[in-house]
Structure 1
Amino acid sequence: MRIEKLTKRFGANVAVDTADFHIGKPAMVGIIGASGAGKSTLLRMINRLTESSEGAIRFNDRDVTHLTGRAKREWQSQCAMIFQQFNLVPRLDVVSNVLHGTLNKRSTMATLFNLYPTEDIHKAIEILDRLGIAEHAPKRAEALSGGQQQRVAIARALMQDPQIILADEPIASLDPMNAQIVMDALRRIHEEDGRMVIANLHTLDTARNYCDRVIGMRNGKIVFDGRPDQLTTGAARDIYGAGADFSEGATSTDINALETPQQARIRDAEALV
């Protein structure tokens, strides 16, 4: 994947400013930075949920920046998104939520009548089993814990059989135990399947423990790109624009005192996209 001078403007505010990086092979990449740094906008542009203002997104030498119609939907199938708030249908059973990962490949009639091939149902249950939640398949999604719901969201993404998984703050709303389970699952998917995983993360230790590479963003710009062992406290201070009193225990959502008015405006704009 090549991201070339990718930029997104919301009016006069620049959410992502000429982002430029290359991922040469499937890897697990973490993106860190304060709230409003542009992390979510970057992932949404890669998935084409948000249109870029300038720059290019290339995958396997194919420019996917301006795809439309069926070609765009096919790209989004190959570039699955996982969200902080799970985005499940609460009153539907778990299997049906997972099967929603096949919607881009199904006819309108099959979608209207909720008809799924038997092989897809078996595949969904196999994926749930792989993630340790197959016993919850017949339950409503709303009956599951937050960590279990996030694993259902991961299963839905895997139903697309994507080459890339984009995870936007996948553990921000989870307790430490469930956060570890979800991150273990994403790391295992990368290692066992050879899939590229790009995750926005809110703690430095998570980025160091799970990622092969870490990208740091500040005010829309990439200010750090290196190995986890290069993510020193000094590098973290630069990423977050912090002083000597910076605490590594703080998360991007905790560092409210470091958020500039521009970052606040961009954060609000990201939330509306």
Structure 2
Amino acid sequence: MLSFQNVTRVFGQSTAVDHATFDIDRPMMVGIIGASGAGKSTLLRMINRLTDASDGRILFEGQDILPLKGADKRRWQSQCAMIFQQFNLVPRVDVVSNVLHGLLNRRGLGATIFNLWPREDISRAIAILDRLGIAEQAAKRAEALSGGQQQRVAIARALMQDPKIILADEPIASLDPMNAQIVMRTLRQIHEEDGRTVIANLHTLDTARRYCDRVIGMRKGRIVFDGVPELLTPAAAREIYGAGHDFSEAATSTEIDALDRPEAAMRDDAYAARLLAD
């Protein structure tokens, strides 16, 4: 499906991604891990064409997506939805309209300016919100929602595009542990139920092991690990992060300690209870 062939991105004197090569041959959930500055975000942004590559090829279903321009580039971006760490919602606009913004490449700017959407689009947006457990928030302004709810709105906006690939750039970095797990379970369910490829930049090893079928580790722009989560040993982690034997992944854990969990973090309706159930 997706093939990276010696893909490089250079910014001035700095190489952000250095001859990255890998293949994703079927729909799966892939986690990309590494320290800050390892090149994870640049890698994702090149797939979505938010950043151009300096060299190499990125093939999707046999087509090189790097030379695409104009309408062809926009069509590709509609198939390749992006979810950001800071949600990138319009704060003062209601939730359902934010979800409908996922159709901008198809419906045009006029629909956004005048908030004129076909009834079937509105119904579909609400159905997606219902699937993600936040349909009751549809009429609220996005800024009124919690961080975890806002990230689910961003996921709903991505699903509105009906993409083949979902890219998530540090989707849980701004969230508390409970909401982080809700978001990761949501992405995992989307992969399993819809058969979509999900590629997520992550900074916690336990998250990559728990939710991903495959993990790619980057260090200083290079891929230094590519394998199943079971192979992500402490030694492999030290290689990815360039750390010594005193390296402990516990400091980056997103696991929830029930004894220390604040009462406010327990409130996220029946959706949270269902997703977090063992």
Q: d(CA) in 1 for partners of 2:147 and 2:244?
A: 34
Gapped regions of structure 1 (runs ≥ 5) = 253-273
Question: What is residue 121 of structure 2 aligned with on the other side?
Answer: 120
Shift of 1:113: 1.7
Gapped regions of structure 2 (runs ≥ 5) = 254-278
Question: What is residue 255 of structure 1 aligned with on the other side?
Answer: none
Question: What is residue 216 of structure 2 aligned with on the other side?
Answer: 215
Question: What is residue 267 of structure 1 aligned with on the other side?
Answer: none
Contact 1:82 1:165 in 2 (8 A): yes
Amino acid in the other structure paired with 1:236: A
Aligned runs of 1:23-172 on 2, under 5 Å? 23-172=24-173
Aligned runs of 1:234-249 on 2, under 5 Å? 234-249=235-250
Question: What is residue 182 of structure 2 aligned with on the other side?
Answer: 181
- Provide, for residues 117-151 of structure 1, a one-character-per-residue CA deviation record: whole Å limited to 9, x for no partner: 10000000000000000000000000000000000
Question: What is residue 13 of structure 1 aligned with on the other side?
Answer: 14
Shift of 1:7: 0.5
Q: d(CA) in 1 for partners of 2:38 and 2:252?
A: 13
Fraction of identical pairs, as percent: 75
Question: What is residue 263 of structure 1 aligned with on the other side?
Answer: none
Aligned runs of 1:185-264 on 2, under 5 Å? 185-251=186-252
Contact 2:172 2:183 in 1 (8 A): yes
Amino acid in the other structure paired with 1:94: V
Q: d(CA) in 2 for partners of 1:101 and 1:143?
A: 20
Contact 2:132 2:156 in 1 (8 A): yes
Shift of 1:204: 0.2
Task: Tell me the secondary structure at the aligned position of residue 188 of structure 2.
Answer: helix
Amino acid in the other structure paired with 1:18: H
Q: d(CA) in 1 for partners of 2:184 and 2:6?
A: 29
Q: d(CA) in 2 for partners of 1:186 and 1:248?
A: 23
Task: Tell me the secondary structure at the aligned position of residue 147 of structure 1.
Answer: helix
Shift of 1:66: 1.3
Superposition CA RMSD, Å? 1.0
Task: Tell me the secondary structure at the aligned position of residue 30 of structure 1.
Answer: strand
- Provide, for residues 168-226 of structure 1, a one-character-per-residue CA deviation record: whole Å limited to 9, x for no partner: 00001100000000000000000000000000001000000000000000000000000
Shift of 1:107: 3.3
Contact 1:203 1:249 in 2 (8 A): no
Number of equivalent positions: 252
Amino acid in the other structure paired with 2:98: N
Q: d(CA) in 2 for partners of 1:109 and 1:141?
A: 21
Q: In the superposition, relative to structure 1, how do residues 224 and 192 fare at CA in structure 2: closer, same or farther (>3 Å)?
A: same
Task: Tell me the secondary structure at the aligned position of residue 250 of structure 1.
Answer: helix
- Provide, for residues 57-95 of structure 1, a one-character-per-residue CA deviation record: whole Å limited to 9, x for no partner: 100001111100000001001000000000000000000
- Provide, for residues 29-59 of structure 1, a one-character-per-residue CA deviation record: whole Å limited to 9, x for no partner: 0000000000000000010000110011100
Q: d(CA) in 1 for partners of 2:41 and 2:102?
A: 21
Contact 2:101 2:112 in 1 (8 A): no
Contact 1:237 1:243 in 2 (8 A): yes
Q: d(CA) in 1 for partners of 2:245 and 2:200?
A: 27
Shift of 1:251: 3.5
Q: d(CA) in 1 for partners of 2:185 and 2:109?
A: 36
